[in-house]
């Protein structure tokens, strides 16, 4: 993990991961940060940087029910 300090008048800096691979291939057990790209029925489609979006049931969230669905835009999770 690399970090660049913010310049004058800008936000909190930039973080990135150095890698020798050209493309990320998700592996079970990886910790990922994903962006919710679609909500379909009881599933979130999440872009984790792989070739296909990941799917996550909204019932996987603590305290979530069919009446009380989480409203999220980004997710931190383990595959």
pLDDT on residue 10:
62
CB-based contact 75:48 (threshold 8 Å): no
CATH 2.40.50.140 fits 23-78, yes or no: yes
d(CA 2, CA 22): 17
CB-based contact 50:26 (threshold 8 Å): yes
d(CA 58, CA 41): 9
Q: Report which of residues 10 and 57 the model is more confident about.
A: 57
d(CA 65, CA 60): 9
Q: Is the pLDDT assigned to residue 6 strictly greater than 80? A: no
Q: What is the pLDDT of residues 14-70, one digit of tens each?
A: 887 777 777 788 888 989 889 999 998 889 999 988 888 999 999 988 888 888 888
pLDDT on residue 19:
76
* pTM metric for this prediction: 0.67
**Domain spans of the chain, in order of start:** 23-78
Beta bridge partners of 34: 75
């Amino acid at each position: 993990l690399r970090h660049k300090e913010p310049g004058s008048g800008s936000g909190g800096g930039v973080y990135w991961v150095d890698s020798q691979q050209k493309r990320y291939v998700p592996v079970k057990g990886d910790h990922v940060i994903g962006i919710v790209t679609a909500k379909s029925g009881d599933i979130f489609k999440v872009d984790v940087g792989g070739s296909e979006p990941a799917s996550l049931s909204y019932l996987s969230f603590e305290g979530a029910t069919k009446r009380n669905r989480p409203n999220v835009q980004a997710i931190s999770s383990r595959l």
